[in-house]
Amino acid sequence: MTKTMLQAELILVAGPYRSGTNDQPELIAANVEHMSQVALELYRMGHLPVLGEWFALPLIETAGSQMVGDDIFNDIFHPVAIRLLDKVDAVLRIGGASQGADEMVRIGREKGKKIYLNLGEVPG
């Protein structure tokens, strides 16, 4: 009997960042922690996960953003994730309401990416 090898996918984890937080740093951090925990599960399943936040937040800080939602933040935060959509194989949408995460799913679909709506749909 031959074992089928899992084809590892590069998967963008898309979930709430600011939604429902009133921009409170501890609530935003909890959202990022949740996405990071899901990313760890994906990694353990044999995939390579990525969060747009992992790329965007250091750039936002380096560019001199003073607060979440300022012009610098807005010029970088979602555009980074949108650029990542050209590189990933799939998007995993997690968590509650989020216009940004929903936008990643919409754009991912337009680009022909696989869309997973829960961790259980991801092979592995």
* Tens-place pLDDT, residues 58-83: 999 999 999 999 999 999 999 999 99
Q: What is the pLDDT of residue 1?
A: 39
Query: What are the residue boundaries of the structural domains of the chain, listed by start?
Result: 10-121
d(CA 112, CA 45) in angstroms, rounded, equals 23
The CA distances from residue 71 to 1, 52, 67, in Å, are: 57, 18, 9
Q: CA–CA separation, 88 vs 48, rounded Å?
A: 9
Question: Tokens for 110?
Answer: 């337009």
Residue that the structure tokens 């994730």 belong to: 81
HEC string of the chain equals: CCCCCCCCCEEEEECCCCCCCCCCHHHHHHHHHHHHHHHHHHHHCCCEEECHHHHHHHHHHHCCCCCCCCHHHHHHHHHHHHHHCCCCCEEEECCCCCHHHHHHHHHHHHCCCEEECCHHHCCC
Residue 6's pLDDT is: 80
Tokens of 83: 């650029």
pLDDT for 4? 56
Query: Tell me: the pLDDT tens digits for 15-27?
Result: 999 999 999 999 9
- Residue 106, pLDDT score: 98
Q: Is the pLDDT of residue 36 over 80?
A: yes
Give yes or no for residue 49 having a pLDDT over 50.
Answer: yes
pLDDT reading at 3 higher than 50: no
